[in-house]
Chains A and B, each alone.
Chain A
Amino acid sequence: MNMKTFKLGGVHPAANKLSDKAPVVVAAIPAEVAIPMAQNLGAPSKAVVQKGDKVKVGTVIGEPGGFLSSYVHSSVSGTVTKVDVVPDATGKKVPAVFIKVEGDEWEESIDRTPELKKDIALDKQQIIDKVKEMGIVGMGGATFPTQVKLTPPPAFKPEVVIINAVECEPYLTSDHSLMLAHAEEILVGVEILKKAMGVQKAIIGIEANKPDAIALMEEKAKAYPGTTVQPLKLKYPQGGEKQLINACIGKEVPSGGLPIATGALVQNVGTAFAVYEAVQKNKPLFERIVTVTGKSLAKPSNFLARVGTPLADLIEAAGGLPKDTGKVISGGPMMGKAMPAVESYMVKGCSGILIMPNEEARRKEASPCIRCAKCVNACPMGLSPYILAKYSQKNILDKAEEERVYDCIECGSCSFSCPANRPLLDWIRQGKGKVMGILRARAAEAKAKADAAKAAAEAKQEPAKA
């Protein structure tokens, strides 16, 4: 196999794919769901239903709250009981629509037949509109509204669609199980994405620890000219957008630039499937595969769960929350967020729920930096985490900027590799946040100055004309 990988840094955390043999199980529909209105990167959606409204599966309950925003649909049929706030994965309170479940009645417009529909009837613009209408967002966790990503600035010429089926986060198997269950649908989804972008080529990047998925996708892809499967060497963070582009086509996303500058448009494999369902089956994004896993959990599982399902229900279905649980993480162990409380609800971007026993969750005490440079060798962006951490800690922001703290992708490879257990990324994140703030302020100031200069120039010209 001709395996590729990205060029700089990277680490090898234990894969711990406990649920990679578990089939996708349809999770029970709960008695009540709470569907958060902040499920995408960008502006939250605005709730368009009120207490007492009757909804069906697929009924629009939230509209985009801005350009970078998306529609939200009901995942169940029943009655809206209230519009209240719920904690998201980080504990932040976000508005949510509570729906009491009555039966399971779907909107008639949704094609519920299982037949594969290959012919793409819609044109480029219709596909993008449909993707928006069906509330599709990036399913890898970043939840970037897909219709926005499919309309890059006209200056860039897309050349290739790259499908992110890397799943480099330890423990998670949702993409893996999706590929095994819906290979053909994913490939049609890829065709739709190619059409939307006006490109002929697509590369599906899969890490080598999923040989069954690689074999299956390679076999099925033969019927789809221009679409190839690229096996990738195991290395975290290969699923990072910049790293994946680098691994697949060898190009580097310029610092501060858009990934599309390389000609590559990256979409998660789950997004490709969601796009298939949206465009071919008219099905909004209201359910997804989520891995519920952990060493202490009785039955690590892959569930097809409705958005808005209480996470506690899913954990219960996987064998219940073990007594010695130290952390419940939304996402994988490298980039996932430890949730302050389990009282949270499924969202579109939730690829996994990881239960960590106390013993594993506790961080070891940090000792002084021995300057071993392991963090430097681990950093996939070619930064020096040890010094970024120091500048961030001491609030020396100009130096942190000089050392390109803004290039940090927060993958956690530095903290992971530190033999002295120093929480490097915790510090770097703070410094990065402040430097990004300064950069934004500087850009705003420059723009204001340019605008003022332009206005002054125009004002000068006015009397001349008169």
Chain B
Amino acid sequence: MSPHVHTATTVQSCMRDVLIALAPALIVSFCFFGLGAVLVTLTSVASCVIFEFVIQKYILKVTPSVSDLSAIVTGVLLAFNLPSNIPLWIVIIGALVAIGIGKMAFGGIGCNIFNPALVGRVFLLIAYPVQMTTWPVSGSMGYTDVETAATPLALFTQWFGAETPEAADAIMAQMPSALDMLLGTTGGAMGEVSALALLLGFCYLLVRKVITWHAPVAIFAAAYIMALICGYGAYGSLQMLLTGGMMLGAIYMATDYTTSPMNNKGLLIYGCFIGILTILIRRFGAYPEGMSFAILIMNGFTPIINTYVKPTRFGVVKAAKK
């Protein structure tokens, strides 16, 4: 039955493109964080692939689908969300939660409700808060003995909490510039520090038509406007976009096929809410970083968005007018 021809795009090629798009950020993280970044990434990818294979083969008793490369993508994204000096056993636990609970418990690829890498990340954040929030500064190449520093987001939170204008200024003096954030010479999780490398990957994904622009652009626009409203100022609001996993989350996590809405209108709504929630959590929440939670919350709303937001139909608007 027709059609008798088929696109060359496959699940595997999509995932391969995502990995290619993540490559610049991966290289940057290796350059800035050295051995630690390599170890954490390898551990995370290997554990994700092994857990997926073992769970599918021995527990679910289905043909393992690791060749679709999606477990590798999860592994890289999980690693990107971790500090480069985190103990490797924590990485392995994170991978188990990401693949086992985040993905396989729901039935594997295409069936999960929440982004697996984020499920792993948030679990670790709650279970191991100290290790998960001790951020090495960029350029500390070792694994165990690293310099650590407060992230820009933590500084912002302190700034809002400062009691005197002098104290606020002192905190602001420690703040890296937007250019530093763009290049990635600040403290933070491995994959989130260089906004530029992540944006480069975004361009690649758009050119290859792996993702559409809707969700990321909606997130950036909504987050910027919300940050302005919340009093971060024009420059501070720009910094909000460049730090704390905003780029990583908007480009690579919020656009996850399975856990985002199925049409462009839905993606715009979903993106706007992620942007707004992220800034609200950063400004008023207990955690300085809100991206992960915002995406997970909106992942939960995706089925509802899919139910109520339908694509633009052909030949319907005019019929309704008559």
Which residue numbers of A lie inside 8 Å of B, CB to CB?
7-8, 11, 13-14, 170, 242, 246, 251-257, 327, 329, 331, 333-338, 354, 356, 360-361, 363-364, 367-374, 376-377, 379-384, 386-387, 403-404, 407, 410, 412, 415-421, 423, 425-426, 429
Contacts and interface: CB of A to CB of B under 8 A. Distances in A.
B21 to A, nearest CB: 15
B3 A371 contact: no
B164 to A, nearest CB: 51
A8 B316 CA distance: 13
B263 interface: yes
Given A329-B4, A370-B110, A415-B6, A407 B314 contact: yes
A361 B4 contact: yes
B1 interface: yes
Interface residues of B, number: 37
B6 to A, nearest CB: 6
Q: Which 5 A-B pairs have the closest CB atoms?
A: A412-B3, A254-B319, A372-B257, A382-B313, A333-B5
B3 A426 contact: no
Interface of B: 1-7, 9-11, 13-14, 65, 68, 70, 108-111, 212, 257-258, 261-264, 310-319, 322
A421 B313 contact: no
Nearest to B13: A419
Contacts of A387: 262
A363 B65 CA distance: 19
A371 B5 contact: no
B312 A382 contact: yes
Contacts of A246: 314
Contacts of B315: 242, 252-255, 257, 381, 407
A416 B316 contact: no
Given A361-B4, A367-B65, A415-B6, 9 more contacts: A8-B314, A13-B5, A254-B316, A254-B319, A255-B313, A334-B2, A338-B4, A416-B5, A417-B9
B7 A371 contact: no
B7 A416 contact: yes
Contacts of A372: 14, 257
A419 B211 CA distance: 13
A380 B314 contact: yes
A320 B258 CA distance: 47
A13 B108 CA distance: 30
10 contacts: A7-B314, A338-B1, A371-B257, A380-B314, A381-B313, A383-B313, A384-B263, A417-B7, A418-B6, A421-B6
Contacts of A364: 6
Chief secondary structure at chain B's binding surface: loop
Contacts of B4: 327, 329, 333-334, 336, 338, 354, 356, 361
Contact of B262 (A331, A361, A386): A386
Contacts of A407: 313-315
A371 B14 contact: no
Nearest to B319: A254
Contact of A368 (B9, B14, B109): B109
Given A370-B11, A371-B257, A386-B262, A416 B3 contact: yes
Given A252-B317, A423-B1, A426-B1, A368 B311 contact: no
A384 B310 contact: yes
Nearest to A171: B5
Given A367-B11, A372-B257, A416 B6 contact: yes
Contacts of A13: 3, 5, 7
A422 to B, nearest CB: 10
A256 B4 CA distance: 28
A407 B65 CA distance: 35
B311 A376 contact: yes
B129 to A, nearest CB: 33
Contacts of B212: 377
Contacts of A376: 262-263, 311
Nearest to B261: A373
A337 B109 contact: no
A377 B9 contact: no
Contacts of A404: 313, 316
Contact of B264 (A242, A334, A377, A426): A377
Nearest to A236: B3
A420 B4 CA distance: 15
Contact of A383 (B6, B311, B319, B322): B311
Contacts of B68: 367
Contacts of B6: 363-364, 415-416, 418, 421
A368 B68 CA distance: 11
Contacts of B108: 368
